[in-house]
Structure 1
Amino acid sequence: MRQTDDGSGSSRTGRDESPEERADRQWGEMLQEVRVTQTGAQILFGFLISVAFTPRFAQLSATERTLYVITVILGAMATGTLIAPVAFHRFFAGHRLKPELDRAAARLISLGLVLLALTVGSALLLLLLVATGSATAWAVTGGVMAWFATCWLVLPWLVLSRARRRQR
């Protein structure tokens, strides 16, 4: 989409929509995106909580227990951060602050994705350390985290860069 100046000094995306309509559309799109990540984070967090109540938990080494605690904390933070846009929406409702809501929610969702990736990475590391007991767990986890970075950061950045070059 090409950006145009609407005469008000702000640039628009080439859609025939007011700033309020644009904010409403963006909010709806963000809600759809965050529904997927919220569900995944909540399920992962639920499973992480249950681990402490299994017989095998008592057999974890001190390092594995520390990693477990870090993983649970990251999971709680990811879940809270991904749910936070709902709280923002409740506070902002009726105050005509949808553009501000969109910007805040976008930042929270981005942070939530980082925390979710770290949660998945630390959970994977813990699982692989317990299952294999080998240093290979670190290498495999590093590879998976590199894959996350590629899929979640590098590829979108490349697509965006190419699109920007075509628009010039």
Structure 2
Amino acid sequence: MSRPEESEQRQLARNLSELLQELRVAQGGVQILFGFLLSIAFSDRYEDVDGYIRVLHLVTVVLAAAAVALLTAPASWHRLLFRQGMRKEIIDTANVFAITGMVFLALAMIGTVLLLGEAIVGGWPAIVIGVFALVGFGMLWFVLPLLRRRDS
């Protein structure tokens, strides 16, 4: 919601600043997660894992890479289109990238939890742990905010 005394350009500048600050928080986490996932393939124990774990790991790495790409894209768009009079378009596009990036980050986190569950306990308990992660991320990151938005 805009402030009555705030011009459209000031509001856009504030919106962009807030969006980029939010992305800084998400980027750090996704980059650490991505590095962790990359390191797994180079461990000695990785040679002994079955095909399911390898596919789950690869899918999770791809999800994390997509999250990195989407969550860092707004900074690149801003830098490349800086002072082109396209602030609103940058914000609109960056917002889509940010939300989509958070979806991919949530999926990568769920995949990581499932992957670790498989490595530690395996079988149905690992799947239950993965489902708990799915419900947790889904509720906290998407369902509850969307319900709040609908109610306001």
Shorter chain as denominator, the TM-score bin is over 0.9
Partner of 1:25: 14
Quick check: 1:126 aligned with 2:100?
no
Quick check: 1:115 aligned with 2:101?
no
Partner of 2:128: 139
Quick check: 1:88 aligned with 2:66?
no
Distance 1:105 1:53 in 2: 34
Distance 1:57 1:15 in 2: 59
Q: Which has the larger radius of gyration?
A: 1
Contact 2:70/2:101, CA 8 A, preserved across alignment: yes
- State the shift of 1:160 in Å: 2.0
Partner of 1:103: 92
The structure with the largest helix share of the pair is: 2
| Unmatched segments (≥5 aa) in structure 1 | 2-12, 164-168
Quick check: 1:56 aligned with 2:45?
yes
Q: How many residues matched?
A: 152
Counterpart residue identity of residue 84, structure 2 = H
Deviates more, 1:139-148 or 1:117-126: 139-148
Percent of matched pairs sharing the same residue:
35
4+ runs of 1 displaced by more than 3 Å?
A: none
Partner of 1:6: none
TM-score (norm 1): 0.86
